[in-house]
Amino acid sequence: MENIMTKSNYICACGIDMVEYARLFTYAPLTEDTCAVTGYTGSEPSSLVIPAQDPEGRRVVAIGDRAFANQASLRAVTLPDSVESVGRRAFAFCTGLLDIRTSAESRLASVGDRAFMGCERLTVLRLGRLHSLTSFGRSAFAYCTRLRSVVLPEGMTELAPSLFEGCTALEHIHLPESLTAIRTAAFSACKSLRVLTLPASLRVIEDCAFAWCGHLTDLRLPESPCVISGSAFMECYALEDVLKVG
């Protein structure tokens, strides 16, 4: 994990036990040994390092639904390797959030519906090293209006409906070679997207998947059979160059 200095780990470096910092968070037990983080009781944070365990020693394996939603002051969040899921709307409309930090050893497997929706200051998502990450919920990153570049991990097989809908600054997307389906409106209204290469594994592109991508000019389709909805590229008026690639 990146070596970062936040208010949280600075306090710990000055001698306060990490357990005391962990008490600033709220938790919900999941099993005898595991729990979910459900909120934060400290003052408005600019940076949060989610504890790997609660004060009773239970492993933190989940971020609860709406746990940190609407925290406008939050700029960076670090997830411990133990976290396997991020709940619905967990960080929705954290309008100042710039940085989501994980390590290559992260066990993160799923991100829930609208988990980061409306995080308008996010600019880059580099998720390629998160090999356990296989599932995004509906609209998980929708309307992140400054998001420019996304790298998705290998092993992911489908992209959820409206996943990046309304990400109007998105210019670059790296799709995994394992991808088989792009669901409804996954990239609709991504009006800065210009070049798109679809992997050979792709079999389905649903309604409005890339609708209203008005600057898309270069589309490279796989040679393998792929069912493409008639509205998948609706109102992509600039689309001129469609190539099939093996």
* CB of 159 closer than 8 Å to CB of 135: no
* Residue 227 C-beta-side C-alpha neighbours within 13 Å: 7
Q: Distance between CA atoms of 113 and 95, rounded to whole angstroms?
A: 17
Of the candidates 27, 86, 18, 105, the one whose C-alpha atom is nearest the C-alpha of residue 59 is 27
Q: Distance between CA atoms of 148 and 212, rounded to whole angstroms?
A: 17
Q: What's the pTM value of the predicted model, to 2 decimals?
A: 0.90
Distance of alpha carbon 168 from the chain centroid: 16
Give whole-number Cα distances, 13 to 49, 67, 195, in Å.
14, 26, 47
Q: Distance between CA atoms of 171 and 215, rounded to whole angstroms?
A: 10
Task: Say which residue the tokens 């998948």 belong to.
Answer: 232
Phi, psi (degrees; rounded to nearest 5) at 63: -100, 120
Q: Give the pLDDT means over successive 10-residue stretches in the chain (246 positions).
A: 36 57 96 97 92 95 98 96 98 97 94 98 93 96 98 96 98 96 98 94 96 93 89 90 56
Task: Say which residue the tokens 């409804």 belong to.
Answer: 184
* CB of 171 closer than 8 Å to CB of 195: no
Question: Within 10 A of 126 (CB to CB), how many other CB atoms are there?
Answer: 14
Q: Which helix (H) or strand (E) holds 8?
A: helix 7-13
* Residue 13 CB contacts under 8 Å (≥ 6 apart), including other chains: none
Q: Is 57 exposed, middle or buried (0-12, 13-18, 19+ CB in 10 A)?
A: exposed
Q: Distance between CA atoms of 53 and 74, rounded to whole angstroms?
A: 21
Q: Which helix (H) or strand (E) holds 20?
A: helix 18-22
Strand order in the sheet with 47-49: 47-49, 76-78, 99-101
Helix, strand, coil proportions of the chain in percent (round to 5)? Answer: 5, 25, 70
* CB of 154 closer than 8 Å to CB of 131: yes
The pLDDT of residue 224 is: 82
Considering Cα of 156, then 159, then 165, then 168, what sign does the dihedral take?
A: positive
The C-alpha R_g of the chain, in whole angstroms, comes to 19
